[in-house]
Structure 1
Amino acid sequence: MGESIEQRTRLEVDDLLWRCPREWLEFETTADLGACEEIFGQPRAVAALRLALRLRSRGYNVFVAGPSGSGRTRTVRRILRQEAGGGAVPDDLCYVMNFEDLKAPRLIRLPAGKGRVLREAMATAADRFRQGVAALRASGDHRRRRESVAKDHLEEQTTLLSEFQDEVKQEGFALVEVNLGPYRRHEIAPLVDGQPVPFHELAALVRDGKLDEADAGRLRERHPDLAARLAQTAAKYRAIARDLEQSLSEADKDAARPLVDEVLEEIRSALALAEGLRPQLDEYLEQVGQYLVAVFPLLFAAGEHVASDSDSVETAMPDPLAALRVNVIVDRTGQKGLPIIEEANPTAARLFGFIEVQRTPEGEVRADLAGIHGGAMHMADGGFLLLNAHDLLQEDGAWAGLKRVLRTGRLSVAGNTPEGAAPLVPEAAPIDATVILVGTPALRELAAAEDEEFSKLFKVVSVFEERVPVSRPVVSSYACFLAHVIQEEELLPHGADAVARILETMVRVAGGRGKLASHLRLFTDLARESSLVAAEMGSDVVHREHVERTLLDRRQRSGFLSSRILESIDEGLLLLDTEGAVVGQINALAVVETSLERLGYPVRVTATTAVGRSGIIDIEREAELSGEIYTKASLILGGYLRSRFAQRHPLAITASVCFEQSYGGVEGDSASSAELAALLSSLGGVPLRQDLAVTGAVDQHGHVLAVGGINE
């Protein structure tokens, strides 16, 4: 006789457990291993990630998809360090004053570390220029030159007015000054008895007999000609004044230029850049030179004021040399390789920078160059930015801002001001960074479905599997990684037997003898807890029994629900038969999952049948306690029964199936084989063994499918 079904399908205990071969662990304790972070078994994920990091083209950003705790972020960090180490350090980013538009600070890129040099050089230049102005003032040379220039022009103006005054006096007029508010001007006034009088008083003087009518007529007749000559004289006077202003300006420029050239040369020497290497900087320094020449008279005059008035208000005036300050928003001094920036709190302000503003008592919003703050995107320019996808999508404006930067390659700080509209609009910074988002596969699919730009901007998907194949290299890498964690966190060394037991647990979690769960968080948590157990038991090394104790403690801590179910069975509250055989009754297996545990337990399934036309009545479905997958499985049962028994005649049956003592929702299809057995038992009157529990889904042809959750 051949083997029975029971003999052919019987599983031994060793078939249900995977034992780690001792020869795969070539060490006594983890202290013998060199620490490493590399985890094997994710070749596709690593290859996709390396592709994006090396391609560095627009749109080739990466979404790293994998379950939490799978080591995805740790692996990304390791690969980023490998890829970034040999790269050239990107530029510093600096904001400086835009002398053509004070509300639009300009951006300057400088080689790494030169931003700080420029900032210090500009501060030194401001001090040197101020000292140079003070030295010129102290020497008196420039003041004497200005006084000489002014004296010549003033004498020319005085001579001009004196000669004209003599002319008008001979005509019986006088040149007088008239105040018009804050201004003064010269006018022609007639002389009567040697005194100038207004023209409108001439008629009254004639009536009073103080002036002859003929003399008054002569004065009126001569006045237009003299007034025209006065206009000509005033024009010459103003021309002399303009020439004086121009001469003084030239004198100031002549005095300032050597000083300006000196400080600019000191700046260029401090930066030590090749000629023409940075056109932006050359243009900026040219504007700085023009600005210093322009403010020289102000600084010189302010010093003169201080010298003559100890209560000077100079300290209350804005410092014109404050315009030379440099705001280095990205300083890469001492950095090696490409930048790797990981932002744990990806708000819009922390990602894209912001402008700090002050509000005056009058409600006016003010900001200056120093209030411009860079963000993580600025820091990641030329390198990589690592973000948690869930955190990013939770923050208002963060995803929209990131899309804008990735799409345009430019980043503007102006839109990120806590107080609203900023009084500054800094020049947008060109940004070239590869962004790596880490999240779950479901989140990636949701983001791609909600935003069509998502897939265009994140063209590469690096998928970390929940399970990896069990092999000697993978086991060795897990052991090596564990040694790294133990060394890093100063845990007790683990013996090979302890590592083997942890690996066996990871295989059990994976649910297959040929797979290893990639849940590195559980992997390392078991090591941490086992280290504590071993220490409390007085051992210097963690062994297998310590891991066993850890697993037992875990089950006891989280086993509230399983204890309740066992109590219900022991006390007879949950009815189960474990002996004999019963028609239309079978023990199925259900799996329940909470935040603390996932467990399986037996549940009674019953079926009743009778002649009728209602077909199969699923009580769970009718009571609206079933989920979609369970409902589908019930319909598949109906399909199987019709295919098997209704080929020649209609299936005249009314049957009901029920999960007894189940008062919550039911989901899944793994109980359909038990339901089918109960139905066939009721139809044929064949009793079913009660010492067995059955699980597994069936298809419409009656084939039993693979079983999930078998460990539970």
Structure 2
Amino acid sequence: MRSDLRLAAKTLDRRIDPGSLPFETTADLLEAPGVLGQARAMEAVRFGVSMEQRGYNLFVMGPSGIGKRSLVLRLLEERAAGLPVPRDWAYVFAFENERRPKALSFPPGTAQAFAEDMDHFVEDLRVGIPAIFDSDEYRARAQDIEQSFHERREQAFAELRERAQKDGIALLQTPTGFAFAPLKNGEVLDPETFTKLPDEEKEKIQSKVSSLQDDLTKVIREIPKWRREAQAKLRELNRSLVRSTVSNLLDELKAKYAAMPTICSHLESVEKDALKNAESFRLPKEAESLPPGMLPPGVGSDAVESFLRRYRVNVVVNQSDANGCPVVFEENPTFSNLFGTVEHIAQMGALVTDFSLIRPGSLHKANGGYLAIDALRLLSHPFSWEGLKRALRGRQIRIEPLAEALGILSTVSLEPEPIPLDLKVILLGERTLYYLLHELDPEFSELFKVVVDFEEEVDRSEAIVVPYAQFLAEEARKSKLLPLDRGAVARVLEEGSRIAADAKKLSLRGRAMSDLLQEADFWARDASAKTISEAHVEKAIAEAEARSGRIRERLREEVLRGTLLVDSDGESVGQVNGLAVLEAGGVRIGHPNRITARVRFGSGKLVDIEREAKLGGPIHSKGVLILSGFLAGRYVPEEPLSLAATLVFEQSYGMVEGDSASCAELCALLSALAAVPIRQSLAITGSINQRGQVQAIGGVNEKVEAFFEVCRARTLSGNQGVIVPAANVDHLVLRRELLEKVEQGLFHLYAVRTVEEAIELLTGLPAGERGPDGRYPEESINGRVERKLLEFARRARALSAGEART
């Protein structure tokens, strides 16, 4: 076996010497850490938030758990603290169209003060104006107007009655109205007596009654006019009394807000409306004699309060406590949470609303600053994405209840005046989501021109060790954890490389590192330790693996019981141990698989059984098809490929995807063609190209450890090991127990660059190179393969010639 391909234990050792760390515990690291490895992302954020042109909103992309949200919010808050506070906004009653409430803008922190001033104004009106209407002076003047009306009416009837009496006619008032009757000697004639009068006299009386009836009609017609004149005088009296109160109260507010023309204009409208509706401030006559508890619904103080509500102010954006511009993260970006809504209340069996029930959304709260939203959550809520794009294009916030937009709710609603929008939107999401939006939504690239791409790893170097330790110290302080000693920090750094799956990198997945620190802290406190040590970190790692290890242990158990056929010693032709990785619940699980190949004379077809059974994914199928190209280019180049071969993952009952087994499949195929057995004490992983070069694959650590666990459970013989691509050596960050066995010579790792190196390790025979005569050595692997393929080609030629003769 080629020892030059074996990896030495020191080559695989990724440990950091705790003694090289310039501190005793992380409690000594008081300096706040800088941002690790995110220079590009930070610069993109600074550019995006500083760019004032339209469309320069930000999309922050990177995997979850990397800390992009906390870092971006921190940068935004730092910048926001130095920016001016945006204006306040409030909705008020629109007197010209009450279904379209008016939006008023205020200098920062003054909207709430104006609302309180208007509340005081309303309270003053509520108390002051009814008191005026309840005063003796008002009652006397109102009584004079009413008395004047009654006197005028009575005088008209008295004059008519007097004129009728002169003509011998009496004016009588009956339950049904007024009537005329003839008089004789001051007495009213009864109908019987009247009928006995001479016809000439009756006609004379009827003529007089008819004339008087016309006069009565004129008087009766004048009475409503006199009533209207009296009511007009009463209204004018009411206005004059209300005007003095309202004007005095509003003059103070106008003086206070003289520098705000829109506010003064609103106050003018309030004054006009109050004078126009002066009658609304007094109780109806039917309520004046009843105690408040006996008033019917909608009558009395409730009605007055309902009317006075129009003068109040609904503050939707209040910046009175703000320091700088706002930074808002919307956790639940529903349509209503983003754009606000108009609430309704039940009133006498109907849903009604007014401007005071307008509720702001996160766009209102973040206006003038920054709004951050999780992109996936935004897209998962109906109409939120389209609504956000519409708001950014139109640069205004329009409150439109979603139920009404869809026609679900049919009731009286409002159309609040839109508010101008000026803010930066920051979407946070996975890279895949960014690329899908960029591809499928033409408007996306116009509205989100700045991409902030977060790194997942940082280069592992001596210069990064202390900053990374400062990062760990800060995480421990934020979560109130015990300090880490030097050994614990060194172990966490090692695990950082393992999470990154790269010995030359450290993971920047803050959530994973924070979880590790918290679990190590738990075990340290459980042992009553004062600091977190290397042993506590090791235990946290082991316990986390144990908790998620059911599938892994079950697969290993089935291998050991012989249910899943995987050999770890002996030899077999056309059979090799491949390695695969499963992902379940965020856990990567490596496990060995037997791969077999069978060959015979045929038409040159290489059958991938997984693909034929529709269990092979496209990448796996591509890897198998590459094998045909390798065989055709490597062997008997002047002859047609005349074999029939089958390849299969034994005992696979689900989808097989990826090309990481293509090198193993090629070795099994070469073994079957050369009739040379493969050592089952070795497993192999790696992808192959048509030139026979072995290429890097993913999940190398899990694959190596999976075969090691099987071999260890069956007893390590010293001949077992795993063959990996040389391109993956830097990705090996293996568990210490495995490294100890490598150091003891009980388990081996080999790095190969070509299939020739791999097949020599697996078979113990040289692969062979073409000599000056163009042939491979007879007993080499390549020589045996080419001899077999040449034999197939001759049989095919002979068969073709025989068919041609017949």
| Same structural fold, with TM-score higher than 0.5 when normalized by the shorter chain | yes
For the Cα contact (< 8 Å) 1:105–1:424, is it kept in 2? no
In structure 2, how many angstroms separate the alpha carbons of the residues matched to 1:544 and 1:447?
45
For 1:669, give the aligned amino acid: D
**Residues 419 and 613 of structure 1: CA distance in aligned 2, closer, same or farther (over 3 Å):** closer
Structure ranking higher on relative contact order (CA contacts 8 Å, 6+ apart): 1
Q: Is 1:355–1:371's contact at 8 Å kept on the other side of the alignment?
A: yes
Contact 1:35 1:487 in 2 (8 A): no
Q: Does 1:639 align with 2:635?
A: no
Query: What does the per-residue CA deviation read over 1:479-528, in whole Å, with 9 as the maximum and x for residues that have no partner?
Result: 33322221122100112332232122121222223322222111111111
C-alpha separation between the residues in 1 aligned to 2:290 and 2:572?
Answer: 117
Query: Counterpart in 2 of 1:406?
Result: 392
Matching of residue 69 in structure 1 with residue 59 in structure 2: no
**8 Å Cα contact 2:19-2:486 kept in structure 1:** no
**What residue number does 1:425 align with?**
414
User: Does 2:308 match 1:321?
Assistant: yes
Contact 2:578 2:664 in 1 (8 A): yes
Which region of structure 1 is more displaced relative to structure 2, 258-267 or 453-462?
453-462
Paired residues of 1:348 and 1:416 also in contact (CA < 8 A): no
Following superposition of structure 1 onto structure 2, how do residues 258-657 of structure 1 map, counting pairs within 5 Å? 258-268=244-254, 272-273=256-257, 275-279=258-262, 281-300=263-282, 306=288, 313=295, 315=300, 318-319=303-304, 320-359=307-346, 363-408=349-394, 409-416=396-403, 420-430=409-419, 431-448=421-438, 451-471=441-461, 475-579=465-569, 582-595=572-585, 597-645=587-635, 647-657=637-647
Q: Is the 8 A contact 2:292 2:300 kept in 1?
A: no
Matched residues in 2 for 1:336 and 1:426: separation? 32
Which residue matches 1:13? 9
| CA offset digits 1:638-690 (Å, max 9, x no partner) | 11212223531211112222333444432210111122122223323444444
Unaligned stretches of 5+ residues in structure 1 = none
> More displaced, 246-255 or 236-245?
236-245
| Cα distance in structure 2, aligned partners of 1:487 and 1:142 | 73
Q: What do the CA deviations read for 1:225-273 (whole angstroms, capped 9, x no partner)?
A: 666655665666555444433333222222222210222234456xx44
SS in 2 for 1:338: coil
CA 1:628 to 1:433, structure 2 compared with 1: closer, same or farther past 3 Å?
Answer: same
Q: How does 1:74-223 map to 2 (within 5 A)?
A: 74-137=70-133, 139-152=135-148, 154-171=150-167, 189=180, 191-193=182-184, 208-210=195-197, 212-218=198-204
Contact persistence 1:137–1:304 (CA under 8 A):
no
**Per-residue CA distance 1:367-412 (angstroms, 9 max, x = gap):** 3444433333332222223222333333344334434433432221
Q: Distance in 2 between matches of 1:488 and 1:545?
A: 22
Unmatched runs of 5 consecutive residues or more in structure 2: 703-806
State the SS of the aligned residue for 1:125.
helix
- CA offsets, 1:83-117, max 9 Å, x none? 22222233333333333334443333333433332
- Determine the structure 1 residue equivalent to 2:670: 680
Partner of 1:42: 38
TM-score computed with the length of structure 1 as normaliser: 0.86
What SS does the corresponding residue of 2:97 show, helix, strand or coil? coil
Structure 1 residue 637 displacement after superposition: 0.8
Letter in 1 for 2:327: I
SS of the residue corresponding to residue 711 of structure 1 reads helix
Closer, same or farther: CA 671–304 of 1 in aligned 2, 3 Å:
closer
Q: Distance in 2 between matches of 1:295 and 1:473?
A: 78
Segment drifting more, 135-144 vs 496-505: 135-144
Residue 41 of structure 1 contacts residue 474 of structure 1 at CA under 8 Å; is this kept in 2?
A: no
Worse-matched range after superposition: 647-656 or 144-153: 144-153
Q: Distance in 1 between matches of 2:23 and 2:173?
A: 108
TM-score where L is the length of structure 2 = 0.76
1:421-460 per-residue CA deviation (whole Å, 9 max, x = no partner) reads: 3423141442434333322222334445554444444333
Q: Aligned equivalents of 2:345 and 2:207: distance in 1?
A: 66
- Which SS does the other structure have where 1:68 is aligned? coil
* Higher mean C-alpha displacement, 64-73 vs 684-693: 684-693
Please report how far the alpha carbon of residue 30 of structure 1 lies from its aligned counterpart in structure 2 after TM superposition. Answer: 1.8
Classify the secondary structure of the residue corresponding to 1:437: strand
| 1:710 shift after superposition | 1.8
Q: Paired residue for 2:797?
A: none
* 1:331, distance to aligned residue in structure 2 (A): 3.2
- CA–CA distance in 2 between the matches of 1:310 and 1:355? 32
Per-residue CA shift, 1:122-158, capped at 9, x if unaligned? 2222222233235435652333333344545554554
* Residues 307-354 of structure 1 deviation map (CA, whole Å, 9 limit, x = unaligned): 797887354751232333333333333122222222323333333333
* Range that drifts further, 636-645 or 365-374: 365-374
Cα deviation, 1:561-593, whole Å, max 9, x if unaligned, reads 333344444445544455565543333322233
Shift of 1:473: 6.1
Aligned-residue CA RMSD (Å): 3.6
Aligned length, in residue pairs:
692
- Change in CA separation of 1:124 and 1:35 when aligned onto 2, cut-off 3 Å: farther
Residue 245 of structure 1 pairs with residue 231 of structure 2: yes
SS of the counterpart of 2:41? helix
CA contact under 8 A between 2:100 and 2:417: conserved in structure 1? no
The answer (yes or no) to whether the contact 2:573–2:668 under 8 Å persists in 1 is: yes
Deviations 1:519-539 (A, max 9, x none): 211111111111122222332
Letter in 2 for 1:514: K
Shift of residue 305, structure 1, vs aligned partner: 6.1
Distance 1:651 1:298, change over 3 A: closer
Whether the aligned pair in 2 keeps the contact of 1:620 and 1:659 (CA below 8 Å) is yes
State the shift of 1:49 in Å.
3.0
Structure 1 pair 103/648, CA: closer, same or farther in 2 (3 Å)?
same
Q: Percent identity?
A: 34
